Structure 1
Amino acid sequence: MNILFNKPPITGNEEKYTLQALKSQKLSGDGPFGQKCQAWFEKHLPCKKALLTPSGTAALELAALLIDIQPSDEVIMPSYTFASTANAFVLRGAQIVFVDIRPDTMNIDEQLIEAAITDKTRAIVAVHYAGVACEMDTIMEVANRYQLFVIEDAAQGMMSYYKGQALGTIGHMGAFSFHETKNYTSGGEGGLLIVNDEQFKERAEIIREKGTNRSQFFRGMVDKYQWVDVGSSYLLSELQAAFLWGQLERADEINTNRLASWRAYYSALQPLQAVGKVKLPTIPAACTHNAHMFYLKVAGLYERNVLLEHFKVKDILAVFHYVPLHTAAAGKRFGRFQGEDRYTTMESERLIRLPMWYGLPKDDQAYVISAIEEFYV
């Protein structure tokens, strides 16, 4: 039995809509399907503007441009995240200030942010790991007190909530990913930037359209469009938007299915947690998650490697996750770690992600659970 770690979601209408877009001869961004997707996001993620992008990375880069990050600026974020979170700001010349994480959620420790602020700090990036929200009330309070921008890296957070508010809608902007490993995909890559602060709404469209006012031209607001600001090409193709629309139509179904798999893992592995063999994910009371991933934590690096070998023998593809950015060559070059690394490295070395995808067969999941039980018996 070969158990995949991930399988991109397919709900049934993606092919039909993609062919429809292909035959329409409108292949570039912001076509009919792109507009339908953006309208869906503006309804489900109440915001000033939703803009599809080629990737979650591009959405973060667009956010960095919008807040005018300069070479003298510092940006605070966790080290336990993907390289794109840092790269978006490093590309603008910023210095990254890494802060330790909370061991319960693997999110940035909100209590350590204030100590990392200097007169050069411009923004805080809140990464919602595994679709579980950071402690946003505290983060926003600190940011408001120091007049800092908050960018939510909600790459894994579509359909997750903090105190009933959709992730990505709390900070000044939110960035999402539709990579094939995410709960919803636009055909392999893709992303979304949502703008929550009115001051960025108009400029976001301009930067996304190569620094031109093309969007205003097509709405009849100007008689010709021209280059008016810095910008780049940050539009998602119509083919990818059509694929994504097939998934958004059944977003609740995908979410429900993943949550059922997540709960099945949690229920079956709870006895191992009760006797101290493993640690399962923690979901704070303020958070409603989207079952983006299911992970367990083991005793340490050695045990993790042995368990991964056990999975390999069983033909189960399970993986560890991020190598902390501050320990990487680029992290040392472009950033610094503020304070003590109490948990970031230690917890990252304990974590294993289990197979999780939309439509994960119950027999496959039972096989994975059985393999874990066999390892610890």
Structure 2
Amino acid sequence: MIPFNKPPVTGLELSYIEEAIKSNKLCGDGGFTRKVSELMESKFNAHKVLLTPSCTASLELAAILIDASENDEIIMPSYTFVSTANAFALRGAKIVFVDVDADTMNLSIDAVQRAITSKTKAIVPVHYAGISCDMDKLMALAQKNNIWVIEDAAQGVMAKYKTDYLGTIGHIGCYSFHETKNYTSGGEGGALLINDKELLQRAEIIREKGTNRSQFFRGHVDKYTWQDIGSSYLPSEIQAAYLLAQIENAENINMKRLSIWQQYYEALKPLEQAGHIKLPYIPAFSTHNAHMFFIRLNSQDIRSSLIAHCKAENILTVFHYIPLHSSPAGKKFGRLHGEDNNTTIESEKLLRLPLFYNLEKNEVESVINSILLFFKKSD
């Protein structure tokens, strides 16, 4: 069976983990955490990178950091993972879901503009498949209305909007290093990017269970104590060690994934020209990271048939999110603003193909041949 995903392995992970174990420092913010944070700050031109146990934790930390509360509304696409909404629902905020653009599956800027009210506290753009939202327009809207922008760049590590890396453009950025992402810290992991310097000190306190422990270890205070609301948002040194091996090889991983993505695109282009599928659309302002390769079929029934066909040929292809506004929790904690013109209908036709760093060339060819065979039979 060709799986949908395998966690990336570069070859250095075990030696770094062994080094971390021998250091006798396994809790958070040790030497490996410092190395990977500094490397990411340099590589992405980020003001400050704080590693976290997951992107979910990063989003929750961000929600606390902007003081999201029951009086606030948070705008985000309905087509996203539950963590994007959960983080703010946990603070009591009302989630305002908006429609996506049919081309990119990213939130519609026009829909965002119509959804803004006096209660809007933040906009949370989700860079789907590592393809950037139009951040200039979003930031202009936010500035005009005095609204926070928190980038859910879980899928966007190494991708760019124009010349800026995703996650570094909004006031706060959130990364994921889950095993399904381009880079992992051993299965779970994340990072919080602080792009507004005024947020840094409080972010460190919230991340350290509400204490000024980070300042204590830097020698800025002679003892540390409880300062604010917070939680345990530090990953272990073993996670950081695994991640360092990945970030050091980020360019190689990125190039390999882009090569696979392009191979899919070129081989399946004739199917798009024949009207059978829609291929991913990359706006001119976006430099994507090949986080995933998805196609969209002409109907949900065709998608189901193609999934079954691929499974019979030992290939795992999968669909993605169920729109949050139609879920039980989405109806309880949020509402859809405006019309659902694209979110549901496009999500029902979307299919993701296997794409991971250690995917072999012959496996890519098998996936392509299986899809081509499906449509040849249907003609």
- Taking structure 1 as the reference length, what is the TM-score of the superposition? 0.99
The farther-off stretch of 40-49 and 354-363 is 40-49
| Deviation readout 1:247-282 (Å, 9 max, x if unpaired) | 111110000000000000000000101111110000
CA offset at residue 125 of structure 1? Answer: 0.1
| Deviation readout 1:298-348 (Å, 9 max, x if unpaired) | 011111111111111111101000000001000000000000000000000
Aligned to 1:42: 41
CA offset at residue 359 of structure 1? Answer: 2.3
In the alignment, is residue 146 of structure 1 matched against residue 145 of structure 2?
Answer: yes
Q: Tell me the distance in 2 between the aligned counterparts of 1:66 and 1:45.
A: 22
In the alignment, is residue 83 of structure 1 matched against residue 78 of structure 2?
Answer: no
Aligned to 1:122: 121
Unaligned runs of 5+ in 2: none
Aligned to 1:362: 361
Q: Is the 8 A contact 1:81 1:322 kept in 2?
A: yes
Aligned to 1:5: 4
CA offset at residue 199 of structure 1? Answer: 1.3
CA offset at residue 194 of structure 1? Answer: 0.3
Q: Is the 8 A contact 1:76 1:98 kept in 2?
A: yes
Aligned to 1:326: 325
CA RMSD of aligned residues (A): 0.6
Report the secondary structure of 2:137's partner residue.
helix
Q: Tell me the distance in 2 between the aligned counterparts of 1:341 and 1:106.
A: 12
CA offset at residue 131 of structure 1? Answer: 0.3
Q: Tell me the distance in 1 between the aligned counterparts of 2:3 and 2:344.
A: 27
Q: Tell me the distance in 2 between the aligned counterparts of 1:134 and 1:320.
A: 21
Aligned to 1:101: 100
Report the secondary structure of 1:52's partner residue.
strand
Q: Tell me the distance in 1 between the aligned counterparts of 2:113 and 2:235.
A: 36
In the alignment, is residue 211 of structure 1 matched against residue 192 of structure 2?
Answer: no
Report the secondary structure of 1:98's partner residue.
strand
Equivalences for 1:338-349 in 2 at 5 Å? Answer: 338-349=337-348
CA offset at residue 158 of structure 1? Answer: 0.3
**Which letter maps to 1:122?**
K
Aligned to 2:112: 113
The farther-off stretch of 174-183 and 302-311 is 302-311
Aligned to 1:61: 60
Share of identical aligned residues, percent? Answer: 59
Q: Tell me the distance in 2 between the aligned counterparts of 1:206 and 1:101.
A: 35
Aligned residue-pair number: 376
Report the secondary structure of 1:127's partner residue.
coil
Q: Tell me the distance in 2 between the aligned counterparts of 1:99 and 1:337.
A: 6
Report the secondary structure of 2:124's partner residue.
strand
Q: Tell me the distance in 1 between the aligned counterparts of 2:299 and 2:139.
A: 34
Report the secondary structure of 2:224's partner residue.
coil
CA offset at residue 23 of structure 1? Answer: 1.3
Q: Is the 8 A contact 1:50 1:194 kept in 2?
A: yes
Q: Tell me the distance in 1 between the aligned counterparts of 2:44 and 2:62.
A: 17
CA offset at residue 45 of structure 1? Answer: 2.1
Aligned to 1:259: 258
CA offset at residue 48 of structure 1? Answer: 2.4
| Deviation readout 1:108-131 (Å, 9 max, x if unpaired) | 001111110111110000000000
Unaligned runs of 5+ in 1: none
Aligned to 2:73: 74
Q: Tell me the distance in 2 between the aligned counterparts of 1:169 and 1:354.
A: 29
Q: Tell me the distance in 2 between the aligned counterparts of 1:248 and 1:48.
A: 17
Aligned to 2:278: 279
Q: Tell me the distance in 1 between the aligned counterparts of 2:64 and 2:93.
A: 12
**Which letter maps to 1:342?**
N
In the alignment, is residue 299 of structure 1 matched against residue 295 of structure 2?
Answer: no
Q: Is the 8 A contact 2:9 2:358 kept in 1?
A: no
Report the secondary structure of 2:125's partner residue.
strand
Q: Is the 8 A contact 2:101 2:107 kept in 1?
A: yes
Aligned to 1:350: 349
Report the secondary structure of 2:193's partner residue.
strand
Aligned to 1:336: 335
Q: Tell me the distance in 1 between the aligned counterparts of 2:47 and 2:184.
A: 23
Q: Is the 8 A contact 1:154 1:175 kept in 2?
A: yes
CA offset at residue 47 of structure 1? Answer: 2.5
- Taking structure 2 as the reference length, what is the TM-score of the superposition? 0.99
Report the secondary structure of 1:41's partner residue.
helix
Aligned to 2:227: 228
**Which letter maps to 2:60?**
E
Q: Is the 8 A contact 1:48 1:201 kept in 2?
A: no
